[in-house]
Structure 1
């Protein structure tokens, strides 16, 4: 983990030593106030690297046990904690507490409730109901919270209608809606909305949150020109953008440009290096990441295992796969097992790869079998390729690429008869090979 700020611990220690959080038999329960608990919950959220997201929720239990009565200042921090931990149950339980104490209609509390419902996977109607029951006219912060909840729930039609009816908008409003459209696959609409933001903000500096949605090197240039300090969110977007275009120089430059890096920033760099032939450099950066106090997560290990597989570093890859579970307590996903199968398959260790598949805690999907099939083709293992191909065809009988791969294995082995037979099977099943296309961008226009 990153080196934590000591402030939340120091505050906790101060409150304990002062007796503010300890049971006092001389006091009546009514004299135990919520103030120190509110301060400590806020400190835990403020310095989240020092505490787990659920820390304020545990404080809330202690607060109730010692007779302190939560107030309108207690619940926003608690609801943020529920949202950060992704606990839908905690958000619902806190809402019940708010209703019981007559605080649910408070604008400050209700805004936090709307946001928590949106970020813990509740249906959009739950957030909307809280919003509609707020006292007075909802302010811009509450409107932004509901817009975010609608977007997170995938109800983009309702989000669009609400967006058009908002009496006021700020950069957060535009960013939330554009991000929601993009996340929902409505990329063209997202660009049109973003264009509307630009037209309405000519002559103003763009807000940093909105800059993160812009594509291309123009973002980087704008930031340098206007001395915008990149946050981890914005810097990661830049690193990822350069990495996906294979511009490793720009990728590294954007990474160094970020002053306060997070794990996601390192992950974007590692993935870019692993995907573009810089496997050894990816391993060096991984060591640097750990040396600076960052704890790798699931995405980090995907990049690391991918780099090991492509560089042929089998033993190193197997070591980190074991360390991922034993040392870092990261649960392997299907993609991690696929990387290990690819790692072993590329080295020709087919029996080991099959053992990994057999020991997986879930049924292998097409991506895992596909990694093994690619290794079979690489090493000309026709017999195993046929068996793997059958499993792939059973998983996706209409996927032409799987038939084509098996056919190519036969053809490369000189078994023309078997290769032709695969083609006949495709024809009989009505499966057509997808025609490949390439494109070249010339003066900003894609030419097929």
Structure 2
């Protein structure tokens, strides 16, 4: 029950105060509670209630997150279970917000140990979330009043400090207000106070150049992506630490949410940021975030030069295949006409072939019908011979080449394999529904050295 007629427990009054002070701008609020929590919500704020189920907690949180309910109030005996599931949801979900707020409330029973909240700050999953607020019961100084300390983690600063608790304020149930009126979500990410940001990359000109000569470059690195990272850290005051995984280049992500290379370093949280000419790949976007693009680039495929056609078919090049078919048809048609004229099959094919080669007949006793057909065939042969001779001279003067590869269709038609130093070159086209693109992407042969 989230909207009761009245609020009576101090923790419920405090929860209501936190909602009205810090969560009014939220689209939707998710309550992950093992018991009923009585609160009154603002009219513009929708909510969802999750009864935690250890075996299905990831799916429960994922469902709420995909509905836009990505701010959470958690009240569980084992809040660590929520953080583990929450980190998995961050990789699985499509709805992602960078300013999610998590408020952990203590359980209201005598056997509850409030240290489980502060112990949660040492978790690796907690170090990825800036806006965490722990409501921890304080040592009571009065039997009638309850006090709650507002605690978060330092999050920023040097590595040895980020997991330390940061005490922000104390709430007095009798006074009904906070003692210091501090901002309970102080990390606005504008100043990280030297926090280490791990960046994974490998040398790939002109985007990333590592291990440069210090005499040429004082920081030993350069490139388009490097400059973007250095400028980002200059703005927010962070320290860049590079994670090297050169052997796998861009790498890949496996079905069990592990991976190698740049994308593997990011998905397994070995690095916070991945650079080196990364594209907007769909499969990778499903498990990690992408920034806005900073440059448009394209890939140039180098194909073999057209080869000179072999010499055996040079005599056939002056005419197209359709023209050769027409010539064969003309040969048989003229032979048939000559057969009808002389009423005999004697030397008709030889005579027809000779006349098409502009060779006259040697029979002086031919009738006018035969001479008429012979005259037309000699004229036809003269035209064909001159056209063929000119084309043949051109073929011998200028060598003929096979068709060049100018398009993806040409690449597929030639059944040519193409190579690259990583399968990442196919990530942008591998999901294409076009048959040509699908066939082309399947013909890659990736190797570490090309």
TM range (shorter): under 0.3
Structure-2-length-normalised TM-score: 0.23
From the two aligned structures, give the one with the greater strand fraction.
2
The higher-RCO structure (CA 8 Å, 6+ apart) is 2
From the two aligned structures, give the one with the greater helix fraction.
1
